[in-house]
Amino acid sequence: MAERVLIIDDDEKLAAMLVEYLTGRGLALEARHDAASGLEALRKGEFDCLVLDVMLPDLDGFEVLRRLRVDSDLPVLMLTARGDETDRIVGLEMGADDYLPKPFNPRELLARLRAILRRRAPGAPTRGPLRFDRLTIDLDARVARVDGAPCSLTSYQFELLAVLAQRAGRVLSRDQLMVAAKGETLEAFDRSIDVHISRIRAAIEDDPRRPRRIATVRGIGYMLVRQPGAEGEV
């Protein structure tokens, strides 16, 4: 059955084009053109991913995302104005999984949606949970727990944590993390990985300001510490 994608964008011409393009490529797409009808569709329907524009006529996309994240981990790809780095960072900090600046190529949107949906797809080979002291990362259930309590992570943030966990004790550059988690390289000066790592730390660390599980290695990247206890920056 085709994965269901909801797009909330007030550009009706763009939304209609995406419905036609993506529906012809194996996705089931619905479009709404304001935040109120979009939130109503999310309450009534079951979707596999949300494409959310920042600029909407009634509420902005950030408020829609905030309301969604109260009780849902639905993957969200945000559409932002080209060059507006602030929008991208705010979206990631609030729990978006990915972003795409306008104008964009529909093929790139399709590729990003497929990457997001692959990360959530059932039927992957069974893999036992990874344990690091009080932190457990269940790769099959796609949930991280500290002392048995689930951590609030987006699907992309979980994927980054899983990549670090599967290579625990090794320092991974931002590019290596991006390629392993998403299959693409970072654009120049793209700091989205840092934003996601900050959110992961907020979810799994006892004190995110003094991280002990995910260490920063200056000038290189990040590493999941096998046994927490050392300071988070070396």
Within a domain: residue 101? yes
Same-domain check for residues 175 and 193? yes
- Statement to judge: residues 138 and 173 lie in one domain: yes
In a domain, 137, yes or no: yes
Same domain, 160 and 181: yes
Is the pLDDT reported for residue 138 higher than 70?
yes
Band of the pLDDT at 234, cuts 50, 70, 90?
Answer: very low
| Chosen domain end from 63, 89, 120 | 120
The domain boundary residue, chosen from 101, 120, 139: 120
Nearest to 144 by CA among 125, 160, 167: 160
Residue 201 has pLDDT above 50, yes or no: yes
Average of per-residue pLDDT across 78-99: 81
Range in 34-38, 209-213, 224-228 with the lowest mean pLDDT:
224-228
Query: Could you tell me if 8 and 116 lie in one domain?
Result: yes
Is residue 230 one of the residues assigned to a domain?
no
Q: Is residue 231 part of a domain?
A: no
Average pLDDT over every residue of 80-107: 83
User: Which residue among 73, 91, 120 closes a domain?
Assistant: 120
Answer yes or no: do 39 and 104 share one domain.
yes
| The pair of three-digit structure tokens given for residue 169, joined into one six-digit string | 């004790």
Cross-sheet strand order for the sheet of 98-102: 28-32, 4-8, 49-53, 76-81, 98-102
Does residue 141 carry a pLDDT above 60? yes
CB within 8 Å of 41: residues ≥ 6 apart: 6, 30, 32, 47
Domain that holds residue 111: 4-120
Q: Report the pLDDT value the prediction gives residue 187, as an integer from 0 to 100.
A: 55
142 in the same domain as 51: no
pLDDT digits (tens, 9 = 90+) for 2-59: 799 999 999 999 999 999 999 989 899 999 999 999 999 999 988 999 999 999 999 9
Same domain? For 28 and 108 the reply is yes
Name the pLDDT band for 77 (thresholds 50, 70, 90): very high
Q: What is the pLDDT of residues 105-133, one digit of tens each?
A: 999 999 989 888 877 665 444 456 889 98
Residue 141: inside a domain, yes or no? Answer: yes
- pLDDT band for position 82 (cuts 50, 70, 90): low
Q: What is the CATH number of the domain that holds 216?
A: 1.10.10.10
**Could you tell me if 41 and 88 lie in one domain?**
yes
Q: Both 14 and 113 in a single domain?
A: yes
151 falls within a domain: yes
With beta carbons less than 8 A apart as the criterion, state whether 200 and 182 touch. Answer: no
The number of domains in the chain is 2
**Are residues 122 and 90 in contact, defined by beta-carbon separation less than 8 angstroms?**
no
Is 181 within the bounds of a domain? yes
Question: In this structure, are 99 and 145 located in the same domain?
Answer: no
In a domain, 136, yes or no: yes
Give the span between the Cα atoms of 194 and 120, in whole angstroms. Answer: 22
